[in-house]
Structure 1
Amino acid sequence: MTCKLPSDCLNEILEYLEEDKLTLHSCLLVNRLWCEISVRILWRNIWNFINSNQLRPFRIDLSIFNTLFACLPNESKELLYKNEIFIPTSISKPMFNYAAFCKVLSIYGVDKLVDNIFRDKPTINSLSLEDRNYLATNEIIKMFANQIYSLKKLSCYYHHCNINFSFPYFPGARNLLELHCSSNLPSDFFYQLSQLCHNLQILSIDFHNYDASNELKELVSLQNSLKTLKLSAYDSSWKNIIPALKNHTNTITKLHLYGDSGNLPFSFVSSFTNLQEFIFSFIDGINFEDFKILQYVNFSKLQTLKIPYQCPKPEYIMKFLENNGKNILKFHTDENDKALSLSVAKFCPNLKSLFIIFNNGELDILKTIFNNCQNLESIKVWCGKSHFSEYLSEKGLFETIINHSSKNFCELKIYNSSNSDVTLEDLESFFISWMNRTPKKLLSFIIIKDDYYYDKCKSLDDRKEIMKIIEKYEKLGVIKFGTIGYEEEDKEEEEVYYYQ
């Protein structure tokens, strides 16, 4: 007698496979119940599915597009057929209403999906490629708007799309939790959302040559539980959105500011006293005079401070750490100031993750940080030489970690911009010493690769020998090895998500 799992139990089990798309895809073939549950999970965020399968993107795009095309209502199909927009598909009648399963909608994703399908197809009528994209994208978006009953995340960056679609009424946005948008979207879009959506938890606004409209300000002001706010300004300013933020000074715990000018206003940050995470990323920071105010503000709950790219004056950050460093667990900055590095050791005793640039000859500062920050688990370090500076040597770094890191330390990220001075013997000695440490702990050993330099750093034979040693100690359970591209790591630090 076969045992059949209850559907709610099976659903809970398959939920654990949400990130494992291949296994979920296999579950489609078991039976109809398994298929229905798996489809609901797979279609929850189809944009993630596309991004996780970069090796064969067009086949996946075509499959998703064919399914969406088959799900279109008859009036949409008739409009597209009338304009000779037709994609041959084997799907005559879809098994499910796939669009209704979506919880995440990316307008940019729809636009790119349609563009990928039509790009190489010859024009067979008077419509241009842009017009074909416009019609098809509009109909797909209208279908999502009418059929998604509970949208959780909407991403709509107007300047990333080459179309001028109109926004339909979107009742499923009533449950929206996350909105990523640009300030130059039509005002009726923000008005419609403000009538429906009052429970956003994450809001990201990109300002590009366009200030916030009254409708956008109203939408921001009406939120009840906003927790994460991301503001980006390029050739523009977020100044006129600031008054709409006054209702959220107690609820916002994560604040991310991105811009191309240090003259953007950010003294308003002082009112967000419940901040737990603050990312402050400016490409061209010249003055940062507003940080004079922030250096004296006490953020008693702040745990994460990241300052990619340009940094305010080191003395401002040092004073900020003096007031707030006790609670900070993660501190990342591209600055390489000796006094600032020493202030980390002095004011951040509970630090768990650190990225700060050390110059050559500053191993003593790293030792001081290890000795004073006994909870430190992870560091990212630059090694080698650049056109402007000389950083730590890998050999010295390895010796410092073995002799001075605490029992909690377990992750090392290295970026080397020039030929490495470490020998095969040095590397193996480091792994042996780590293996003999007490207590024993798996070391996450991550190389940040800049492909331009990486190809020049070592000969192919040298890299093969290095990998042999790394693989040997991976098999022994001493290390867990990984590589990450320099740009990918840089994105992780910035946490800018335009293309969602």
Structure 2
Amino acid sequence: MTCSKIFSGDLPELTNEILQYFRNDFSTLHSCILVNRLWCRITIPLLWENPFSKKYPKNYHFIEIYFSKLNEDDKTKLNEYGIITELLFPSMNTLFNYPNFIQHLNTYEVCNRNSIETWSTNKMVSNFDNNFGFIFLSLIKIFIENEVNLYTFDFEIFCTFKYIGSDCFNSTLQLILQKPNFVCNIKNLNIYLGDYCDNNLSSSFIEESISKLINSQQNLKKICFNYKKYLKNLNIFNCLNTLKTIIFHEINLESLKINFNEAFEQQNVLESIHIINCYPLNSTFIQQIINLTKPFKLKSLFIDNYSTLQIETFKLLLQKTGNYLENIGFGLSRNNKHKRKLFKLVKIYCVKIKFLEIFGISRFNNQNIYSVLNLIKNVQQNLNYLSIIFY
């Protein structure tokens, strides 16, 4: 009886919940479109929430459907670049406003050579290198004009800059900042600076733009900073009542000039902080954490190969955060005695470990191997994942 009601559309909420489980199973979702109107209305947004991320085999026809929503001025500009809009994407009377369904936008996935370039090659677009940036900018304008409500925004700065060039990158960034409704309600913001460098890209301009982007947020839940170069400022003060997760990945901590009291003491709903392969994880940085009066809910700590932790400082860090730590990993260290002390401290202060990563175990002496085994035994009640890397 219940099954028949689901297929007939009498239980739309339950049907919606069931179909959510197939959001990454594109073959099944395409079949669901044909069941009935209700299933179609539920399934179409799932298929279009992140089309640029779909792996091979990839259908690039969705790009043409997006471009069919261009205004006449932009179509004229594309014609000037040699892209004949009447042939490539003639006027379409679509059943849905497909651009409006996008939920996850990754700037690199939009501009990388596996999306726009492959589409242009298939359609024999001439002068591609000269109009690549404009095609990217046109897609962003389409999303903005169709009042997209993004859930996740991945801003891959240097990769995007490398593909579309300085002029188009600056125009895109300014357009996003001028249209705050486009990104003001995102829940997850991932900022990747990367390791690409260009004299035309000012670090101060990037820092200022990122600060404006973060300050425009109203419902941000998670933010990830992935900077292989330098992150000087951390401005999260506008998200005091919404931000639940902060991730630092490959950050140069020496360049991070922030006031920890201002950045973390005022966070009202923060649930987890993750420090992943940041460097150098030294006593100066750790002391700022120790000095905080509020709990520092460090859920993940992965120590890179370049951080030489002082045992006493690390002990103080674990005394403050060990009860929250669930994921921990150790980089390559040549000092066996030092490693053994680290393992002992984790064994004492971290009893909730769910993910443990040990790197370079082939260089361990017997005492360290026994220390690792004792650590595993001590956390086995909660341990879900164990990664042992031989190097």
* Cα distance in 1 between the residues matched to 2:268 and 2:313: 17
State the TM-score, normalizing by the size of structure 2.
Answer: 0.74
CA contact (8 A) 2:110 2:116 kept: yes
Deviation at 1:381, TM superposition (A): 5.2
Is 1:251 aligned with 2:256?
A: no
Q: CA deviation at 1:96?
A: 1.3
Match of 2:45 among 24, 40, 43: 40
2:353 is matched with which residue: 313, 323, 328?
328
Q: Amino acid of the residue matched to residue 135 of structure 1? A: F
Other structure's SS at 2:184 match: helix
Q: Which residue of 2 aligns with 1:240?
A: 257
Q: 2:232 aligns with which of 181, 197, 212?
A: 212
| Shift, 1:104, TM fit | 0.9
Query: Are positions 1:223 and 2:239 aligned together?
Result: yes
In 1, Cα distance between the equivalents of 2:383 and 2:125? 60
Per the TM alignment, residue 322 of structure 1 is displaced from its structure 2 partner at its CA by 4.1
Residues 63 and 257 (structure 1 numbering): CA distance in 2 closer, same or farther, change over 3 Å?
Answer: same
**Mapped contact 1:71–1:98 kept (Cα < 8 A):** no
Residues 241 and 21 (structure 1), Cα distance of their counterparts in 2 relative to 1, 3 Å cut: farther
Q: Give the match for residue 101 of structure 1.
A: 101
Alignment-derived partner of residue 118 in structure 1? 120
Q: In the alignment, residue 118 of structure 1 is paired with which amino acid?
A: S
Q: Which amino acid aligns with 1:37?
A: I
1:308 touches 1:334 (CA, 8 Å); kept in 2?
yes
Deviation at 1:12, TM superposition (A): 2.5
Larger Rg: 1
Deviations 1:250-289 (A, max 9, x none): 724131323476669641454584435213242x416344
Paired residue for 1:359? none
TM-score normalised over the length of structure 1: 0.60
Structure 1 residue 294 corresponds to structure 2 residue 314:
yes
Show the counterpart of 2:200: none
Residues 119-153 of structure 1, C-alpha deviations (whole Å, 9 max, x = no match) = 577674xxx54431110100111222333443211
Q: Which runs of 5+ in 2 are unaligned?
A: 194-202
- 1:454 corresponding residue in structure 2: none
Task: Return closer, same or farther for 1:264/1:37 CA change in 2, 3 Å cut-off.
Answer: farther
- Number of residue pairs matched by the alignment: 346
Q: Distance in 2 between matches of 1:280 and 1:139?
A: 40
Indicate the structure whose relative CO is greater, using CA pairs within 8 Å and at least 6 residues apart.
2
**Per-residue deviation, residues 205-263 of structure 1 (Å, max 9, x unmatched):** 132444435xxx33x22222333322234778552246463334972413132347666
Match of 1:285 in 2: 306
What aligned pairs does 1:388-403 form with structure 2 within 5 A after superposition? none
Would the aligned equivalents of 2:231 and 2:251 in 1 still touch at CA under 8 Å?
A: no
Secondary structure of 2:116's partner? helix
State the SS of the aligned residue for 1:251: coil
Tell me by how many angstroms 1:316 deviates: 4.5
Q: Counterpart of 1:231 in structure 2: which amino acid?
A: F
Kindly state the Cα deviation for residue 25 of structure 1 after the two structures are TM-superposed.
1.2
Aligned to 1:25: 30
Shift in CA distance, 156/15, structure 1 to aligned 2, threshold 3 Å: same
CA contact (8 A) 1:118 1:133 kept: no
Give SS of 1:175's match. Answer: coil
Aligned CA-pair RMSD:
3.5
Aligned residue number for residue 141 of structure 1: 140
339 and 226 in structure 1: CA distance in 2 versus 1, 3 angstrom threshold: farther
Q: Distance in 2 between matches of 1:269 and 1:227?
A: 18
8 Å Cα contact 2:106/2:155 also seen in 1 = yes
What does the per-residue CA deviation read over 1:356-384, in whole Å, with 9 as the maximum and x for residues that have no partner?
xxxxxxxxxxxxxxxxxx666665556xx
Q: Is the 8 A contact 1:204 1:231 kept in 2?
A: yes
Question: What's the counterpart of residue 351 of structure 1?
Answer: 379
Q: Is the 8 A contact 1:317 1:340 kept in 2?
A: no
State the alpha-carbon separation in 2 of the partners of residues 40 and 196 from structure 1.
26
Contact 1:44 1:102 in 2 (8 A): yes
**202, 217, 222: which one pairs with 2:222?**
202
Distance 1:319-1:91 versus aligned 2 partners, 3 A rule? farther
Matches within 5 A, 1:183-202: 184=203, 186-187=206-207, 189-202=209-222
- Aligned 1:163-202 pairs, distance under 5 A: 163=164, 164=166, 165=169, 166-167=172-173, 168=175, 169-182=179-192, 184=203, 186-187=206-207, 189-202=209-222
Q: Which one-letter code corresponds to 1:223 in the other structure?
A: C
Q: Which amino acid aligns with 2:42?
A: I
Distance 1:153 1:237 in 2: 29
Aligned positions of 1:153-172 closer than 5 A: 153-161=152-160, 162=162, 163=164, 164=166, 165=169, 166-167=172-173, 168=175, 169-172=179-182
Change (3 A) 1:223 1:254: same
- 1:67–1:91 CA contact under 8 A, matched in 2: no
Give the Cα separation in 2 of the matches to 1:188 and 1:159: 15
Counterparts of 1:70 and 1:123, CA distance in 2: 16
